[in-house]
Every structure is written in structure tokens, then in C-alpha cells.
Amino acid sequence: MFKLVRNLAKFGTWVGGTLLVAVAFLVTSEVLLRRFFGIGLAAAAELSSYALAIAAAWGFSYAVIHRSHVRVDAAVRLLPRGIAAWVDILAMAMLTAYAYLLVAHGWEVFHQSWMRNSRAMTPLLTPIWIPQGAWWLGLCLFLATCAVTLAHAIYFTIAGRPREAQQLVGVVTVEEEAGSEISESKKMLGPTAR
């Protein structure tokens, strides 16, 4: 299950990144058209706001899997590994609860737009449920990622494997970050790296 969630998160990140690149081209085109021809694209602001919301929602899962979300960890690093594992689990449980609230309230927003067939008050008259639906699906993936990660972390901690739990929900250690930077550098340098 964790592998499936991880693959979906990776896919969602690619979709979100592609949306942001497309919007960057759209906004650049609009700026150039305004500057040189005095023509504006009314859709640029609307589409960029949709893309930002969708990309962010789909990116949340990737951040959880790679432990790149923001955490305040000054005190946690001082705790013994077994206790720190439970503190990390508590933090992930709180994040999961927050993800649930986002999904529940996001559903209300999406469902209301769907039932009323709401449209954006813009020249495009976009059926607002379309971007809201894509946004809500990203939030659902975020909740699923949090729940699966939390379940695995609890299992590893109960099984007496706090190191594996820490690798799922703990704060990225300085050693892990340094190792990641070194491996990235080696990839960039290619076969000349030693």
C-alpha cells in the first residue's frame, strides 16, 4: 500500500509541476503580449490560481513521503530514539487529523459547487467544480498518504523497529541530508565522480 501511495504522490507531483510550468509560459506570454501589443489574456490569472491550488494539494503527499514538510524538532532530537518515535507518531497523527479536516471541508466546497453548477465570475465562466475536484482529489491523496505512513510507523514502533519508523515519520537527520546531497552531486557529475 505504501508503494502505491508513493507512486501516486510522485505522479501527482509531476502533474502539479507540469501545471506550474504551463502557467509560467502562459503568464510570460501575457506579459509579453501586454508589453509589445497592449493585449492581455484575461484567463491567465484565473488559470494560474487554479494551477497553484491543484499543484499544492498534489504536492503535499510528496512532501510527507520525503519528510520535507516543516517541523519544529529542537527538543525531539534530544529524546531517546524510542520516545522520539512516539513523538513523531503523535506529530503524524496530528497531520493526518488536519488532512482529514481539509478533505471533509474540501468535499463540502466541491459538492456545493457541483450541485449548484457554480461557475467562475470570469470571462471563461469555468465550472468551478472542475478545479475544485482536482484540488480535492489531491487532498484525498494527502490524507491517504498520511494515514498509510502513520499506520506503518505505528507498526514499526510496536515491532521494536524505531529506526524504520523514524525513516518514515521522523525529522530528516543531518546525516541523511548530507548523504542525499552527496548522492545528488555524484549523479550530476556522472562517471567522473569518485
Report the candidate in 88, 74, 81, 67 with the shortest Cα–Cα distance to residue 154.
Answer: 88
Number of domains in the chain: 1
Which of 144-148, 161-165, 177-181 has the highest mean predicted lDDT (pLDDT)? 144-148
Convert the pLDDT of each residue in 106-148 to its tens digit.
Answer: 999 999 999 999 998 888 888 999 999 999 999 999 999 999 9
Cα distances (angstroms) measured from residue 46 to each of 24, 31, 117, 120, 131 = 13, 15, 18, 9, 11
| pLDDT over threshold 90, residue 1 | no
Convert the pLDDT of each residue in 59-74 to its tens digit.
Answer: 999 999 988 776 666 6
Question: What residue numbers bound the domain in which 69 lies?
Answer: 2-192
Contact 30, 43 (CB under 8 A): no
Question: What local confidence, expressed as pLDDT, does residue 193 receive?
Answer: 54
Give bridge partners of residue 119 from the DSSP assignment: 127
Which of 79-88, 145-154, 174-183 has the highest mean predicted lDDT (pLDDT)? 145-154
Give mean pLDDT, residues 171-183.
70
CA angle 62, 182, 8 (to 5 degrees): 15
Q: At what angle do helices 43-65 and 129-158 cross, to 10 degrees?
A: 10
Q: What is the pTM of this model?
A: 0.82
